[in-house]
Amino acid sequence: MITVLLASYGAVLVAELVGDKTLYTLCAIVSRYRPAPVLVGAALAMMGKMAVAVLLGGLVASLPGWMMATISAATFFGMALVLGLAAERAEPAQALEQPRSTRAAVAGFMSVFLTEWGDIGQITAALLAARYQRPAVVWFGATAALVTKAVLAMTLGMGLRRWVPRRPLRITAVSLLLVMGTLALLRVDRG
């Protein structure tokens, strides 16, 4: 059982760290919101996505690419809009420093749950669950790998927040989300 757990953790972590957009998305979101609620939201989304992966892995992998790319693009554009509009609202200084935890948790959840269905991490988890016939162990290992990735991304985002002024950081985050949305739209044509 420990071998399956470690194999799931290692394989999914490596698969997710190589060129994964969620790293950049969470890094951008944590530049605006407090990290703890973002992590809670993201972790809940990761738990759900990995549950789907180990239970319905073949089905998720067979969904049309255009559908997954469209959902991902809409999510990235929506997050860019939310971050961009948040900069335009006149908020008290304290509100800028401590946005509501619910909003932060929803941002973390939506940015993860609505993007990258059928990605390499889910496919890896689905294959491991099929191979080892231990879906709960694979789910736990894969979810732990995703949460590790989220913590790494958020640590980077918090470091940026400390050293880079808020306005350039927000502009960079919105720009990055727009680029990721555009890249996801380009996948629609190929899917």
**pLDDT at position 87, please?**
53
At 30-62, the pLDDT tens digits run 877 888 999 999 999 999 989 988 887 656 556
pLDDT tens for each residue of the chain, 191 residues long: 888 888 788 777 776 765 566 777 787 788 778 889 999 999 999 999 899 888 876 565 566 777 767 766 776 687 677 767 765 544 444 444 445 788 889 988 988 888 767 777 787 888 788 777 788 899 999 999 989 988 888 888 777 777 777 677 677 777 877 887 787 788 766 65
**pLDDT at position 99, please?**
53
**pLDDT at position 119, please?**
74
Instruction: Quote the pTM value.
Output: 0.66
Residues in the chain: 191
Q: Which residue has the tokens 């549950």?
A: 51
Contacts 24+ apart (CB under 8 A), 162-171: 166/96, 167/87, 169/31, 170/31, 170/32, 170/83, 170/84, 170/86, 170/87
